[in-house]
Chains A and B, each alone.
Chain A
């Protein structure tokens, strides 16, 4: 029973390049969330998606960041023209569609993005 999968685990990009982070939710889960954790800071919500829909993107920076969760394939968080301040750990979490335990989210191993 595979958990939440993320790849790559580590990603190095030069300033100005694009970063693509992928997340496959747990089997049977249809809700995906992206969080960012900066060094010495807490986890910050970025976006909540269901298949083919962005439900809440209130935590997403207005520029350069986008997310999708297509009908087929993993959810993707895309960061265009990366800057040093984007260096962080990006975590994906998933939850089941019918929440008997409301709100329980299970996290993937994260992608550690380093911008040089």
Chain B
């Protein structure tokens, strides 16, 4: 079983719409969860961190965490062409400091 799974294929959304990304993780002891954005050829950029069940909002981004279901999601409201990137879900593995990453979801915002 993979530590972090992002199963959706590329996501195309019209400009102004909501993009919804999902992620599941296998380690029930994990406490720290992150979303990174990675533009093609660039390094990952931290955009959201979440540690408690529920929603966390930051600008147009909302992260949602459900530890019982081992599920993390990211919503991007009012999507802009500049949001076109790959979004990586990452989880701190319980007991150490390393990040386990999902494979990422490519988001394409169509003007």
A residues adjacent to B (C-beta < 8 A): 31, 33, 35, 41-45, 48, 55-56, 58-59, 91, 93, 95, 101-110
Task: Report if B110 contacts A (CB, 8 A).
Answer: no
Q: Which of A43, A48, A58, A104 contacts B101 (CB 8 A)?
A: A43
A-B contact pairs, 26 of them (CB 8 A): A31-B97, A33-B97, A35-B101, A41-B103, A42-B88, A42-B101, A43-B44, A43-B99, A56-B97, A58-B98, A59-B98, A91-B43, A91-B44, A93-B99, A102-B31, A102-B51, A102-B92, A103-B32, A103-B34, A103-B97, A105-B46, A106-B46, A107-B44, A107-B45, A108-B43, A109-B42
Complex Cα distance A73/B63, Å? 37
B residues adjacent to A (C-beta < 8 A): 31-32, 34, 36, 42-46, 49, 51, 88, 90, 92, 96-104
Chain A residues with CB under 8 Å of B34's CB are: 103-104
Complex Cα distance A32/B88, Å? 20
Tell me the nearest residue of chain A to B2, going by C-beta.
A42
* Shortest distance from the beta carbon of A75 to any chain B beta carbon, whole Å: 15
- Asked, given contacts A56-B97, A59-B98, whether A103 binds B49 with beta carbons under 8 Å apart, the answer is yes
Chain B residues with CB under 8 Å of A95's CB are: 97
Contact between B43 and A33, CB atoms less than 8 A apart: no
Chain B residues with CB under 8 Å of A102's CB are: 31-32, 51, 92
Tell me the nearest residue of chain B to A91, going by C-beta.
B43
Chain A residues with CB under 8 Å of B104's CB are: 42
* Shortest distance from the beta carbon of B64 to any chain A beta carbon, whole Å: 18
Most A C-beta atoms less than 10 A away, residue of B34, B36, B44, B49: B44
* Shortest distance from the beta carbon of B90 to any chain A beta carbon, whole Å: 8
Complex Cα distance A35/B101, Å? 10
**9 A-B pairs with least C-beta separation:** A103-B32, A103-B92, A42-B103, A43-B101, A45-B98, A107-B43, A42-B101, A107-B44, A110-B43
Contact between A43 and B88, CB atoms less than 8 A apart: yes
Chain A residues with CB under 8 Å of B42's CB are: 109-110
- Asked, given contacts A42-B104, A104-B46, A106-B46, whether A33 binds B32 with beta carbons under 8 Å apart, the answer is no
